[in-house]
Amino acid sequence: MGKMPNMNQLMKMAQNMAKDMEDKLSTTEVEGNAGGGMVKVVMNGHKSILSLDISKDVVDPDDIEMLQDLIIAAVNDAQSKADEEMKSSAGAGMPNIPGMPGGLPFG
């Protein structure tokens, strides 16, 4: 078994991981859609909406509720994809710290 890193090394690793995660959140883009692509939402890893595209074919002044539902569905789809992306990439950068099997635990 290797030597455990000292507290300063652990803090530095944690700071680097936090910076890497922040960079990943800022640069990750996911697209959610609804209505067969009639409504598209692009958001980043922070779940901030970057763009919203609504097809003219789905805009019906007599059925605003359908458009509202499609927008909500597209946003929820994008949020789900952002969560999945962050979850799958969260463990990828975990260092293998001696004495801690599998690196740092991450829930």
Domain 29-90, CATH number (from 3.30.1310.10, 3.30.1360.150, 3.40.50.1820, 3.30.1440.10): 3.30.1310.10
Q: What is the mean pLDDT of residues 81-102?
A: 68
| Residue 106 exposed, middle or buried by CB count within 10 Å (0-12, 13-18, 19+) | exposed
Looking at per-residue confidence, does 37 or 95 come out higher? 37
The string of pLDDT tens digits covering residues 48-76 is: 999 999 999 999 999 999 999 999 999 99
Helix (H, G, I), strand (E, B) or coil at 107: coil
- The pLDDT of residue 19: 85
The ranges assigned to domains in the chain are 29-90
